[in-house]
Amino acid sequence: MKIVVIEPLGVEKEQLLSIAEEKLPKSAELVCYDTRVTDTEILIERGRDADVVVVANLPLNGQVIRGFQKLKLLSVAFTGVDHIDLEACREKGVTVCNCAGYSTVAVADLVFGMLLSLYRNIPACNEAVRREGTKDGLVGFELAGKKFGIVGTGAIGLRVARLAHAFGCEVYAYSRTEKEIDWVHYMPLEELLGTCDIVSLHTPLTKETHHLICRENLALMKKSAVLINTARGPVVDSEALAEALNQGKIAGAAVDVFETEPPVSKDHPLFHAKNTLVTPHVAFATKEAMVKRAHIAFQNVKAWQEGAPQNVIGEP
């Protein structure tokens, strides 16, 4: 069995090999590439004779998938798989697994880092004091008592809910599947948007969630509300959000994800919107999370090789 790690996984090579050795049979051949490339022909050449390919968030289109002639398992070291041509995988009978759960703590941490930065004007305070300034115009807000809305209560959404509750927020949620938690109040999306001071998005990107936060839904939000998106960029209509921010229809936004992976064009509408904090899709990226996902990615291979695949996305 040949296993190809087709792009770097953010873990030191010695540690990565140690994790692989722990999970994989001694007979397995492992090839790890330490450069990220997007050229179709190079990608096909890297995985042409691989039985298993391990990939993170590198897009793999149908041409690349079909070029992996022996591919049987794609272990995606990521939570979302919208960058993978799943139709091509189904066509070839390839099992696709993800690494659900590896970034739960990391993403939730960044939500509150971004939120506190907005609420307490931390970037502006940093600039002011360096310019020999004061707190004038920079008095912020407390989280306690705020109505905190969560769209999507999967693992990450629930982690965010617990942290919001610990901060003393009233927690509201909208989700396809509702959980029985005494202090989480579920309600329709439109009602949540009109009720909450803070709205944090934690839904996957699907046909149903594309531009879920659109011009019409943004118009439902309070003028004092802030929106946080650490989910997927296209869940939000960026132009409509920029317009809402610039027109003062909502108070602020924190955005970690865009329509494409960074680098993002400097002309992106959110880069010129008022009261907006942006980061380069970094929510999942902590040292601890990178190690967690390496363990899960190789455990996916082990479980599949033993005939009991885990974290399977759809059916091959």
Hey, which residues are catalytic here?
232, 261, 281
Residue 53: CB atoms within 10 A of its CB come to 26
Q: What values do phi and psi take at 5, rounded to 5?
A: -90, 105
Q: Are 228 and 251 in contact (CB under 8 A)?
A: no
- Residue 31 structure tokens: 């090839």
For strands 170-174 and 95-97, give the pairing. Answer: unpaired
- Residue 304 structure tokens: 């599949």
For strands 73-76 and 147-151, give the pairing. Answer: unpaired
Measured CA angle at 218 (ends 213, 224), to 5 deg: 130
Instruction: Transcribe 248-285 into DSSP letters.
Output: TSSSEEEE---SSPSS--TT-GGGGSTTEEE-SS-TT-
